[in-house]
Structure 1
Amino acid sequence: MAKTLVPEAKNGLSKFKTEVANEMGVPFTDYNGNLSSKQCGSVGGEMVKKMVESYEKGI
């Protein structure tokens, strides 16, 4: 398991992941073993895309 570099960010990232998944129609819950790799990967990719856009806008 990966070590969290900034433990204080864990809750914020979890909330962000859930928001992005909901926007995409991916049913994230506490257990996501029923989701495909493609679904999980698309949520992660969209999260990175949104973070880069925010950084570029200076938010």
Structure 2
Amino acid sequence: MPSRRQTLLPKEVLNQFKEEIAQELGIADKVKQVGWAEMPSRECGRVGGKIGGNMVKVLIRNAQKSLMQE
């Protein structure tokens, strides 16, 4: 039986990361107009690379915010 990859974060959180990165790259309006499915692969790759590079920073920032709220 093949093993299935378990996601560490819910899809909603990952989608929020994508939206934040798209905002930083200035392509959020285009994503809202055409959707991720119609975005050119070059722009999706920019977002994916940014997510991979910044995911740890964003996770740490979110963890710090949640600790401050407690």
**Aligned equivalent of 1:21:** 22
Separation of aligned partners in 1, 2:11 and 2:20: 14
Pick one of 31, 42, 57 that aligns with 2:46: 42
Separation of aligned partners in 2, 1:11 and 1:32: 15
Pick one of 49, 55, 64 that aligns with 1:51: 55
Structure having the higher Rg:
2
Instruction: In structure 1, give the amino acid aligned to 2:26.
Output: G
Pick one of 22, 31, 38 that aligns with 2:35: 31
After TM superposition, the score normalised by the length of structure 1 is 0.66
Separation of aligned partners in 1, 2:39 and 2:15: 17
RMSD: 2.7
Identity over the aligned pairs, expressed in percent? 33
After TM superposition, the score normalised by the length of structure 2 is 0.57
Higher helix share: 2
Instruction: In structure 1, give the amino acid aligned to 2:24.
Output: E
Separation of aligned partners in 1, 2:18 and 2:37: 16
